[in-house]
């Protein structure tokens, strides 16, 4: 078994809210920030821009890496081990569009201090690290 590298992207609007999606696939009904697996030869920033465009139709500018999390709870539950590189981007304006209804059924702008449940582990970790200004979460 190999470890998978992915990105998680927090998109923040002018009110300090983060964009979340409600998953409709195997991770339903969990809420989560957006992201996905890094392709070979791709930078974390390129992956973040591509994934956000594919999932929401938004074109983010200059996402910044701020942390890394090792998603061990998900590994223990599902046997899939991912490492998430967490990035932050400003909302570029415009309304997000559900581009992959087979993966996401609903969007919501949310106060990061009042996250909906159930909430996906990697997303919870990414938001907590951003709020605490920490690079790595040791859970």
pLDDT in tens, the chain (139 residues): 789 999 999 999 999 999 999 999 877 899 999 999 999 999 999 999 999 999 999 999 999 999 999 988 888 888 889 999 999 999 999 999 999 999 999 999 999 999 999 999 889 999 999 999 999 976 5
**58/49 Cα distance (integer angstroms):** 9
Query: For residue 102, how many other CB atoms are within 10 A of its CB?
Result: 8
Domains in the chain, please, with CATH? Answer: 4-132 (3.90.79.10)
What pTM was computed for the model? 0.94
* Residue linked to tokens 């061990």: 72
């Amino acid at each position: 078994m190999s470890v998978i590298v992915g990105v998680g992207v927090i998109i923040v609007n002018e009110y300090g809210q983060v964009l979340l999606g409600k998953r409709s696939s195997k991770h339903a009904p969990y809420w989560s920030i957006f992201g996905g697996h890094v392709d070979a030869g791709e930078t974390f920033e390129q992956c973040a821009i591509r994934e956000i465009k594919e999932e929401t139709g938004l074109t983010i500018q200059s996402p910044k890496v701020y942390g890394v999390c090792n998603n061990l709870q998900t590994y223990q539950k599902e046997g899939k081990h991912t490492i998430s590189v967490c990035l932050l981007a400003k909302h570029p304006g415009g309304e997000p569009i559900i581009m992959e209804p087979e993966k996401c059924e609903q969007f919501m702008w949310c106060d990061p201090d009042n996250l909906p449940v159930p909430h996906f582990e990697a997303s919870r970790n990414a938001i907590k690290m951003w709020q605490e200004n920490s690079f790595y979460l040791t859970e």
